[in-house]
Amino acid sequence: MVPAVDSIRNFYYNYYHFFIPRETMAKHIAIIGGGETGRDIARCASMAGLQVLLYDVNDTILRRTIEIIKEDLQKVVKQGLITSDEVKAAVGRIKPKTELKALGTSEIVIETSHNDIRVKKDLFKKLESTCRLNTILAAHTSTISVNAIASACTLRQKIVGMHFLAPAHSNPIVEIVRGGETSEATLNAVADLAFAMQKKPILVRESPGLIADRMNRIFFHEALHMAQEHIADPGEIDRIVKLGGGFLEGPFNAMDHAGLDTELGISEAIFAESCQNPRYRPQPLLRHLVSLGYYGVRSERGFFPHIRKFKV
């Protein structure tokens, strides 16, 4: 069973009532990775009033990422939900950084690096030697073991999983994964951060795919089966799922926005970690599209065509 911790009581209290930020809540965070996930998390954090250090080795990516955040927030201004002054203030709270040592004073670091165990272990080892002793290091992953990442570190009580469901700027769910040595204080701190960003944190047991990605495999795989069997094309399947099932978006549009290569990688990881359970077997159609360079929104071509003003 998932350990009964004080944070669970806080989750339910705040979900059903209201949340009062604690005096110890993090005010300065760092995000590693200027891709779509890192960008969306930075957007949420800055809009919540947090100071954000956004790190990437590529300065061009960082500049484009901040331009996309501005562009996306201006669309929200046109909807009358926020003001131009709020956008200016939020963007001003995001500071681009290309040196890892610049993140040293952050209270919480959320990494969204490449989903590779060797990359993440090496990164966390460097972060531990760079950041303060009380800095929390959060891994954004649903398929790599938090314990495996923490094995490269000494202060394992500060290592935690923090998986934002895509799209991270609008999806309210954050899966929080407790490692074998993660402390109660660490769990409470990342839960507080999630609440501050208007998210609903859910404490989950470490497992391949956690909850959301594991459920998505079944949803996406059945849709892919139907497309391969020519029961209907992707557009029709998406339309039927939304109209008849009440879903906000269809499986094919969801895969395009998440990234077909990302979805394939998740499927391969869950398939391997589940001892090759056939219900998680990656679908040939998905593999074929990725082999053609169709990655979805990022490549402007997936199951559907997409046009982006900015490319990252």
**Chain segment 151-204, per-residue pLDDT in tens:** 999 999 999 999 999 889 889 999 999 999 999 999 999 999 999 999 999 999
- Single-letter residue type at 155: L
Give me the CATH topology for the region 212-297.
N-(1-d-carboxylethyl)-l-norvaline Dehydrogenase; domain 2 (1.10.1040)
**8 pLDDT above the threshold of 60:** no
Long-range residue pairs from 119-125, CB within 8 A, at least 24 positions apart, any chain? 120/144, 120/149, 121/148, 121/149, 121/151, 121/152, 122/152, 123/32, 124/149, 124/150, 124/152, 124/153, 124/159, 125/152, 125/153
In SS3 terms, 207-240 reads as CCCCCHHHHHHHHHHHHHHHHHCCCCCHHHHHHH
What is the CATH number that goes with domain 6-204? 3.40.50.720
Nearest to 253 by CA among 283, 209, 210, 223: 223
Q: Give Cβ neighbours of residue 189 (< 8 Å, ≥ 6 apart).
A: 24, 25, 26, 107, 108, 136
C-alpha 289/C-alpha 301 separation (Å) is: 9
Instruction: Indicate where the chain has its CATH 3.40.50.720 domain(s).
Output: 6-204
Q: What is the pLDDT of residues 234-293, one digit of tens each?
A: 999 999 999 998 888 999 999 998 899 999 999 999 999 889 999 899 999 999 999 999
CATH 1.10.1040.10 boundaries in the chain? 212-297
Residues above pLDDT 70, as percent of the chain: 90
DSSP string, 261-307: HHHHHHHHHHHHHTTS-GGGPPPHHHHHHHHTT--BGGGTBSSSB--
Per-residue pLDDT tens over the stretch 30-70: 999 999 899 999 999 999 999 999 999 999 999 999 999 99
pLDDT in tens, 132-149: 999 999 999 999 999 999
Residue 114: pLDDT band by 50, 70, 90 thresholds? confident
Q: What residues pair up with 301 in beta bridges, in sequence order? A: 296, 305
